[in-house]
Chains A and B, each alone.
Chain A
């Protein structure tokens, strides 16, 4: 029945594992997820439009997407730098630093949230040095950016690092032999090779920032119109039993994250074309 490369596949268990995979996927993910779309479809167009375009919701989009963008940009710059230092330089304790880069993946977001809030508060370990400079982080939109930098940190490092490790030294050597200085070698030879992975990491960090909740709500201050993120607004609507409003905003966010997911796939497809050429 299922032919691979013109001969019969003798490996057993296709029916069982395929059936189980599809069944479990449907029960746990697909059917529950369809609830959002079915509930959204049952809203009237006016209700949907009113819910997703009220001034408070629009302000939350601006904050959520704007702060994610800034945080992803910071992570792109410093993530590339961190990957570079971890791959290229000899450094005492490098393995520990390298392992700790994954901490934002492993640390529960609520723990990250209360810690960042206390460290960046005006009397906190870092906040007390920023306060005299007139920089307020905790309970402002800047705090949202800080939390998003934290949770997005591993993405750029972990997408750029393997590409940098696999990069052939010969190319850099050739560039140097042909008279390029180190900066030229980096901008003309190394950076173009890293760029697709950097872009992927950026998009993943951005997507993670847009959906993030736990680490942000403690440091944001959550003032409507100022420092209230969209996921929090969904919860606020739920607590007011405004299920229609919550669902409509959730549908918009889902659309945005699918768009980012699609973009990441396009980038990866494009970079495969680029490297195979």
Chain B
């Protein structure tokens, strides 16, 4: 399916005019596409940073070093720091089981792993309210034993783990399936142990995929709003993550501060998108 030579998908070179559109049509299509992207992507992205610095660098620094903002940063890092490693270990285990073995119900398992993606964030939060709320399954027991889960850090972490659950697994499953298991079998026949085989044979093949999954998982973990908003209770300095802190500042009409904190998250998104392109490029090179 490869076209020979560089620029395999470009047809603008002379001699192939029957395989592309007239110049006027090309310019029109490019203008329309860039206009669309500008209206919905580029202008809003620029607006985040413009409004963050609207009141100058001093106000910006004050907004992001505010104790409540710092507490929100800390909680966001904690939630991501717990959910990313958990879902990474799960992703590797799930991909190993699904890619290297045959068993009944495999496609059902793959579908179930993707489930959190098709559920509204608000509903993801609601399920933890139904379990840990005062009228929930274990709410009364928790209350009697004075254990705080809902409207406290544990529920925030749980909701974050839930919404970021499929990220690493869904990247690794196809990646580990495609090369088959010949290389691992060769290593095992030559006497390597299971763990050595994984570290020396499997891991080098999937390392960029692991990184890719972790980057996306982390971005979602730090940016999750709906699910966390339902379970957090919005207690300032205690149960506010960065996105929730942005909401509170915005609703208090403290726009410059809201956009200052938002600009940190936008920066994270830009780094995520950049790293994502880089790993995609590395995965294509490695193939």
Binding site for B on A (CB under 8 A): 2-4, 9-14, 16-18, 20-22, 24-25, 28-30, 32-33, 35-36, 39, 78, 81-82, 84-91, 95, 97-112, 114-116, 118-119, 124-126, 146, 149-150, 153, 165-166, 168-169, 172-173, 176, 182, 207, 210-214, 218, 231-232, 234-235, 238, 243, 246-247, 250, 253-254, 257-258, 260-261, 265
Contact = CB atoms under 8 A, between A and B. Distances in A.
A114 B112 contact: no
Contact of B247 (A35, A110, A153, A254): A110
A222 B201 CA distance: 54
A11 B184 contact: yes
Contact of B243 (A85, A104, A214): A214
Contact of A85 (B29, B100, B123): B29
Interface in B31-56: 32-34, 36-37, 39-45, 47-48, 51
A25 B113 contact: yes
B122 A234 contact: yes
A172 B18 CA distance: 9
Nearest to B3: A169
Interface centre among A81, A107, A119, A168, by most chain B C-beta atoms within 10 angstroms, is A107
26 contacts: A11-B181, A11-B184, A22-B109, A25-B90, A29-B116, A29-B162, A29-B165, A78-B32, A87-B9, A90-B10, A100-B37, A102-B273, A103-B45, A106-B276, A108-B246, A109-B121, A110-B225, A111-B269, A114-B259, A146-B40, A173-B19, A182-B22, A212-B120, A231-B122, A231-B123, A257-B120
B18 A214 contact: no
A18 B189 CA distance: 23
Contact of A28 (B118, B161, B269): B161
Contact of A88 (B20, B113, B126, B276): B20
Contacts of A254: 119, 123
Contacts of A100: 37, 41-42, 45, 273
Interface residues of B, number: 102
Nearest to B9: A87
Interface in B223-276: 223-226, 229-230, 242-244, 246-247, 250, 255, 258-259, 262, 265-266, 268-270, 272-274, 276
Given A108-B223, A260-B118, A119 B47 contact: yes
A36 B9 contact: no
Contacts of B11: 88, 169
B224 A253 contact: no
Contacts of B102: 2-4, 9
B277 interface: yes
A28 to B, nearest CB: 6
Interface in B121-156: 121-123, 126-131, 133, 135-137
Contacts of B113: 25
Contact of A12 (B162, B188, B216): B188
A203 to B, nearest CB: 11
Interface string B194-214: 100010000000000000000
A126 B281 CA distance: 34
A98 B281 CA distance: 12
A115 B243 CA distance: 13
A256 to B, nearest CB: 10
Contact of B269 (A87, A108, A165, A212): A108
A121 to B, nearest CB: 11
B127 A35 contact: yes
A176 B120 CA distance: 46
B121 A214 contact: yes
Given A212-B120, A243-B133, A257-B119, A125 B19 contact: no
A106 B118 contact: no
B222 interface: yes
A118 B1 contact: no
B230 to A, nearest CB: 6
B12 interface: yes
A10 B185 contact: yes
Interface in B151-199: 158, 161-162, 165, 181, 184-185, 188-189, 194, 198
Given A35-B137, A111-B266, A114-B250, A81 B36 contact: yes
A88 B135 contact: no
B70 interface: no
Interface string B92-106: 011011101111000
Given A238-B129, A265-B111, 4 more contacts: A11-B100, A99-B277, A100-B45, A101-B37
B29 A33 contact: no
Contacts of A29: 112, 115-116, 162, 165
B77 interface: no
B283 interface: no
